Amino acid sequence: MNEFIISLNGNKMKVNIIDETQASLNGKIVNYELINLNAHTKLLRINDLFYEIYSDKIDNEKYSLFINGKYFSTIVRTELQERATKLLDEAKGTFNSKIEVKAPMPGMILKLKKKPGDDISAGESVLILEAMKMENDVKAPTGGKITTVNVKEGIAVDKGDSLFVIE
């Protein structure tokens, strides 16, 4: 049995494909027939109701559908994918995503390249730290937003001093 969770404009429906003529929609058994009219257009009969469906695949799980002239944003997942997505969404809410970047060595802040509120990509330069007459590029270890810059140009820092925070 093929089991899916289908979201139509945010409303979820559990669909189990029983065989080539029967399916369960939220636990209710229905008779269906699916006829391919062309690559993107299908005619779907559920019990005695007919639906003309034009579909366009956006990515692995997202589709845009026009059903009898009305637009629907659709996500199709297996039950396992739906549970995994829910767990990941819950984990995002509990995960502390603040990353504090500390000075790797003592030195002087020569130049600040980013300020609080700036978006940053992993590996992007945030500031220049001069140590032993060498300029060291201090880069973001992860992408996000610079929330705090704890140093100013021209000040000395010790190893382990907080330089900036990314969220």
63-73 pLDDT, tens digit each: 999 998 888 88
Whether 83 and 110 share a structural domain:
no
Which domain covers residue 105, as residue numbers?
99-166
Q: Once rounded to an integer, what is the mean pLDDT over residues 52-75?
A: 90
> What does the alpha-carbon distance between residue 153 and residue 144 come to, in Å, rounded to a whole number?
22
Structural domain count, the chain = 2
Co-location of 104 and 79 in the same domain: no
- List, for residues 102-138, the tens digit of each pLDDT value: 999 999 999 999 999 999 998 899 999 999 889 999 9
**Are both 118 and 70 inside the same structural domain?**
no
The CATH number that applies at residue 114 is: 2.40.50.100
Same domain, 161 and 144: yes
For residue 93, pLDDT beyond 90:
no
The dihedrals phi and psi of 127, each to the nearest 5 degrees, come to -155, 165
- Is there a single domain that holds both residue 61 and residue 125? no
133 and 90 housed in the same domain: no
State how far the Cα of 10 lies from the Cα of 13, in Å rounded to an integer.
10
What is the value of pTM for the model shown? Answer: 0.52
The 10s digit of each residue's pLDDT in 2-47 is 899 999 877 899 999 999 999 999 999 999 999 999 988 999 999 9
Domain ends where: 49, 71, 94?
94
Q: Are residues 161 and 106 in the same domain?
A: yes
Other Cβ atoms closer than 10 A to 24: 15
Res. 78: pLDDT tops 60: yes
The CATH number of the domain holding residue 88 is 3.30.700.30
Q: Are residues 86 and 120 in the same domain?
A: no
Identify the domain boundary among 65, 94, 123.
94
Do 49 and 75 sit in the same domain of this protein? yes
Tell me the C-alpha distance between 138 and 13, whole Å: 49
pLDDT-derived band at 143, boundaries 50, 70, 90: confident
